[in-house]
Amino acid sequence: MQNRASNRKCVKKSHRAAQFAVLAALLLVASVTGCGYHVAGRAGNLPAQWTTIAVPAFKNDTTRYRIEQRFTTAVVRQFVQRTKYRIVQDPANADAVLRGEVVSIETDPMLFNAATGQVTMMLVTVHTKVQLIGSKDEKPIYENNDMVFRDEYQISSDVQSFFEEQDPALERMSRDFAAQLVSNVLETF
């Protein structure tokens, strides 16, 4: 009787060991082969022979002073941080050229102070165009004729502590724009 009980324990232990071995093997196979997922921005959908991308200053179609510089700088920073490409300014020295244009900027009141009727929050909307073209064949790799970004900022009603919040809002927006653009270009959406 005692022999049967010890045999059952041995069978259960060997069954668990077999289950563990199968599970370990499956995990090993899954980690080696991958599941088709990859880190965003690392897909490598751009031509493998490219090493440089030119990012000339964006064109500014708005009346907002130096907005194109913010957006160009943010895009260059994102490419440098997230890719292996060398970023240059001169299109003649690059495998591809990323051209951008700030088409419009709009500011609209969002919230009002109920007592005074003064605007307390504004919404900034920026419309841009971007295009990535291969230098050799001049074939568009990525193009978006209306990338829209929005951000909001508060307006202080206290004159003594007034701080212009539109510039920090545009700075945040340029970083968000650049991150989205570089992701889109790398993934060729």
Which DSSP string do the residues of 79-98 spell out, in sequence order?
HHHH-SPEEES-GGG-SEEE
pLDDT at residue 87 above 80? Answer: yes
pLDDT by residue (tens digit) across 30-60?
A: 444 444 333 443 445 788 899 999 999 999 9
* pLDDT confidence of residue 157: 63
Higher-confidence residue: 22 or 17? 17
- What are the boundaries of each domain within the chain? 1-37, 52-187
Q: Which of 14-18, 80-84, 104-108, 132-136 has the lowest mean pLDDT?
A: 14-18
Residues in the chain: 189
What is 52-187's CATH superfamily? Lipoprotein like domain (3.30.160.150)
CB 153 within 8 A of CB 165: yes
* Cβ neighbours of residue 47 closer than 8 Å, sequence gap 6 or more: 95, 134, 141
pLDDT band at 189 (very low <50, low <70, confident <90, very high): low
Is this model's pTM higher than 0.75 or not? no
